[in-house]
Amino acid sequence: MANRSDRLKRILRVQEQLKAMHEMRRANELRAAHKAEAEAAEIASGKDTDATLSRLFPELYERAIVRAHDKRDRHLQAARREADNIARETARTDRVGQDYRAAVRVEERAAEERSALETVERLLGLPPSRGGGNG
């Protein structure tokens, strides 16, 4: 069975991957929102020209602009949710990182104590007190 620091290291790696995934999803949502905004601007600029279609069917242009703005708003809302997820994963990652560093310090301290005990036992000519350090 792996020791505590190894398990925490694996958890930390997964947390970092989750954070990166949420960052990528947020970036994609922001990109899609920007694209929808550009689409709305393009439709609006076409409506403002003297084109016969925009004069004949102004409500079609208005609905298309509203749809593009709704799409932009949905993507911005999704980006906000992903930002919340990023904050949550950052907090989790930080906490697991702290636990990992603490576990490493505990294991290093235990290894130093075992080494010191073995050195003392060797100097005194005593048999090793723990067979292989299992306790």
pLDDT in tens, 71-125: 999 999 999 999 999 999 999 999 999 999 999 999 999 999 999 989 988 888 8
Q: How far is CA 78 from CA 16, 22, 31, 32, 85, in A?
A: 21, 11, 12, 10, 10
Interval 37-48 mean pLDDT:
86
Q: Burial of 43 by CB count in 10 Å (0-12 exposed, 13-18 middle, 19+ buried)?
A: buried
Looking at the structure of the chain, the number of domains it has is 1
Is 63 part of a structural domain of the chain?
yes
Q: How far is CA 91 from CA 26, 79, 84, in A?
A: 17, 18, 11
Is 132 part of a structural domain of the chain?
no
Is the pLDDT at 128 greater than 80? The verdict is no
Model pTM above 0.85: no
Interval 25-40 mean pLDDT:
97
Is 129 part of a structural domain of the chain?
no
Is 80 part of a structural domain of the chain?
yes
Q: Does residue 65 contact residue 40 with C-beta atoms inside 8 Å? A: yes
What is the DSSP-derived secondary structure letter of residue 49? S
